Amino acid sequence: MPPALDLLMQRHSTPSRQLGAPGPEGAELHALLEAAVRVPDHGKLVPFRLIELRGDAKQIFGDRLAAIAARNPALSEAKREKERTRYGFAPLVLVVVARVTTDSKVPPIEQEIAAGCVAYNLLLGAHALGYGAQWLTGWAAYDAEVAALLRLAGNERVIGFVHIGTPQIEVPDRDRPTVQEVFSPWMP
């Protein structure tokens, strides 16, 4: 099997709570980001951007998320603490943001898919570099106050939070669909 295809066959997510230091930085991070943005981009709109959460910024972000989550009076203290610490495990969290241009011939869904491809390329690139990664969304990806916290413009939305670091455990692969379950020829 060609090495690139073998890479795809071996990729799996590592739970964010099982990611620790080190993570990519410097030239290695730059190369990962360059590879991540090489995605199909109908109209060359570059309908995405990335926000880095690293070091103390991750904890501050988590503290602010916990404060936003606490607006729900039914939120338990354990769940609030989970929100507060959610971004503290992996050394690097990249927020993948879709920037949708509505005055374009390119449909918004194609622009969001391009941003999703950036997130997936981050997973593949991290795996190729020997790191683990997980793409997460959760309520924070869809919350207006979190969007304001991230200083997103009105045409931007979070596609996901990609946590990247060194796996702290061996992660077994999960069951995958068989080709027969998802593939069929079109019959005219």
CA gap 35, 119 in Å, rounded? 11
Q: Does the annotation place 137 within a ligand binding site?
A: yes
Q: Does the annotation place 139 within a ligand binding site?
A: no
Name 24's Cβ contacts closer than 8 Å, sequence gap at least 6. Answer: 32, 92, 126, 129, 131, 164
Q: Does the annotation place 12 within a ligand binding site?
A: yes
Q: Does the annotation place 151 within a ligand binding site?
A: no
Token code pair at residue 72? 């729900």
Q: Does the annotation place 135 within a ligand binding site?
A: yes
Q: How far is CA 137 from CA 76, 86, 119, 141, 148, in A?
A: 20, 11, 11, 5, 16
Q: Does the annotation place 30 within a ligand binding site?
A: no
CA gap 156, 79 in Å, rounded? 27
Q: Does the annotation place 42 within a ligand binding site?
A: yes
Q: Does the annotation place 13 within a ligand binding site?
A: yes
CB 166 within 8 A of CB 19: yes
Q: Which residues belong to the annotated binding site for FMN?
A: 11-13, 38, 42, 135-137
Q: Which residues belong to the annotated binding site?
A: 11-13, 38, 42, 135-137
